[in-house]
Chain A
Amino acid sequence: MNLELLAPELSLAATAVVLILLDLFIERKGVLTVLSIIGLAVSAGFAIALWGTSQAAFNGMLSVDNFALFFKLLFLGIAALIILASVDYAPKFSRFQGEYHALIVLSALGMMLMAASAELITIYIALELASISLYVLAGFLKDPKSTESSIKYLLLGATSSAVLLYGMALVFGSTGTTQLAEISQAVQNLGATGVGDNPALMLGAVLLIAGFGFKIAAVPFQMWVPDVYEGAPTPITGYLSVASKAAGFAIILRVFFSAFGTPEWLSMNWGLVFAALAAIGMTVGNISALPQINIKRMFGYSSIAQAGYLLVGLAAMGVGAATSTLNQSTVMFFLLSYSMANLGAFIAIIAITNKINSDLIEDFSGMSKRAPVLALGLTLCLISLIGMPPAAGFMAKFYIFSGAVQSDLLWLVIIAVINSVISAFYYLRVVKVMWLGEPASTEKVPSSGALRVALAITCLGVLFLGILPGLAIKGAEFAAKMFGS
């Protein structure tokens, strides 16, 4: 048992416990924000110190490699930005501040374990740790909408967990092991005809896709997204749309690359499943986003569409040579740039909706005069989500689409590009309302220093990834290469 391999997770768990205890005994709740940021930073420090190791821990249940560490750092960063952005929002729930911060930290912990787990049961436990924290967070406002979103998320999430477990049981029954590496071995021993004669194994793999598809909000498992996004507290909506999705993709990459990645006839099959999901997801997401008048609902549908673009990368990974790590690194780069852009947009939305007390897009009218910096940041992030240069989204889409073209998925790329054009309509509508609309009042929109810092970090990140993507893509490539054991 090698506990230092688990140092980032252990320190984060300790942070959560200290947060809960401290909340009971202190009156000044601002300390909680500082403490959570420190805890996340310490955990990130441990993760950076582990960079470069590649080994299995706890009898192969967790694998500590650069792939996992890349995602751990991503989740820690996202959680820190969300906590910074919550500073303006937290007074809305004055009673449960300690729990709020602790639950964000705990769900980040669950996601970190998800990225590292190399065994089906560990995957499930990590997934539940992340999800249950999020179910509670979604209902934190205690108004009817928030409660509805929490209940819907809980019920549908439990169903998807059941589907996932059923898939795991079938895979375990057909291969006799829960270790991803051993599943891969068993599948290769079965051979093409052996797998063809084993419908239970194929059904298991499909149910795994369905279970994980819920997490990443792939169509047709997206029904929960709009309602949950609308009702949940805005920082949690941002957290859901970014971290939960990234964790889902981390686990899909790990499972389908480690367990079903080789040989090629096998990866080809699930690659095509992902290609179909991508095509439906992009189209449904974008077309449903068009008529939305509530900005949080619009972002819900937009995140479904973004999951579709990401699935293009997964499809390319399966259909192309699965041994090459190029497509993994493009998916990781897309996740990084999507996280930056979406978080930035949500941070700006938190500040604006806090002031105007409405989530309707029309109420954003003339925001460029009332809050020029926020409007500028939101515009930059929206441009990145469309995929226009110089923002990060352009490079991310460019990498993913070129990977798909190299894997002979030209039809999918054509659908994706058409969808990007459709998406420009509803993203730019927000920009138009903000810059060309008449302001409803001349009152400035206030924002705290912490929120401005968070917005600055995301906007700089978006620009940095867009103009100098080389460093990040190198890091992602390196992380995907070390994707061992």
Chain B
Amino acid sequence: MLSDYGFVGLFIIVAVLFSLLLIILPVVFRYLKLVPHNPNAVKNATFECGMETIGKTWVQFNFRYYFYALIFLALDVLVAFIYPWAVNVRDLGTSGFTAILIFIAFIVVGYLYAWRKRVLEWK
């Protein structure tokens, strides 16, 4: 019973060793002079692409974004479920088609709700 967990233990040991190795390797390579050391401004930049922030990064976002995030979430779920159906649409036949129609109807109810509650208007 307990020996079955041996594999899990093995994985933990490998994971820890691997992580440690990745941290130590660059240090060792630097020490052995295997990697060159010539920094410049571009190399040390915070972002490889994108701008450095101006002012504090802890700003408050308008809470309307939260509505859009929620609406987007519904769309996301819709896509996640429609995609596998679309791939197998021939095999699933009419029953699959009705099921996906009912599913879309549910999401549409959500959008109707958001629309009538004026969530889509940016005021």
Chain A interface (Cβ < 8 Å from any Cβ of B): 17, 20-21, 24-25
Contacts and interface: CB of A to CB of B under 8 A. Distances in A.
Contacts of B116: 24-25
A21 B109 CA distance: 7
A99 to B, nearest CB: 9
Nearest to A1: B95
Nearest to B116: A24
Contacts of B106: 17
Per CB-CB distance, the 8 closest pairs between chain A and chain B, nearest first, are: A24-B116, A17-B109, A20-B113, A21-B109, A21-B112, A24-B113, A24-B112, A20-B109
Interface of B: 106, 109, 112-113, 116-117
A114 B106 CA distance: 23
Contacts of B109: 17, 20-21
DSSP majority for the A interface? helix
A24 B115 CA distance: 9
Contacts of A21: 109, 112-113
A20 B106 CA distance: 12
A17 B116 CA distance: 15
Contacts of A25: 116
A20 B114 CA distance: 11
12 contacts: A17-B106, A17-B109, A20-B109, A20-B113, A21-B109, A21-B112, A21-B113, A24-B112, A24-B113, A24-B116, A24-B117, A25-B116
A17 B110 CA distance: 10
Contacts of B112: 21, 24
A108 to B, nearest CB: 19
A105 to B, nearest CB: 15
Nearest to A20: B113
A238 B112 CA distance: 32
A21 B113 CA distance: 7
A262 B117 CA distance: 54
A17 B117 CA distance: 15
A24 B113 CA distance: 7
Contacts of A24: 112-113, 116-117
Contacts of B117: 24
Nearest to A17: B109
Given A17-B109, A20-B109, A24-B113, 9 more contacts: A17-B106, A20-B113, A21-B109, A21-B112, A21-B113, A24-B112, A24-B116, A24-B117, A25-B116
A101 to B, nearest CB: 14
A25 B116 CA distance: 8
A20 B109 CA distance: 9
Contacts of A17: 106, 109
Contacts of A20: 109, 113
A67 to B, nearest CB: 30
B71 to A, nearest CB: 16
A21 B116 CA distance: 9
Nearest to A25: B116
A24 B108 CA distance: 14
B119 to A, nearest CB: 12
A25 B112 CA distance: 10
B37 to A, nearest CB: 51
A21 B112 CA distance: 8
Nearest to A18: B109
B29 to A, nearest CB: 46
A51 B106 CA distance: 30
A17 B113 CA distance: 10
B106 to A, nearest CB: 8
Nearest to B117: A24
A9 to B, nearest CB: 15
Nearest to A98: B113
Nearest to B115: A24
A476 B26 CA distance: 75
A351 B109 CA distance: 35
A160 to B, nearest CB: 27
A244 B42 CA distance: 63
Nearest to B110: A20
A214 B109 CA distance: 34
B34 to A, nearest CB: 50
A17 B106 CA distance: 9
Nearest to A96: B117
A20 B112 CA distance: 10
A25 B115 CA distance: 11
B98 to A, nearest CB: 12
B99 to A, nearest CB: 11
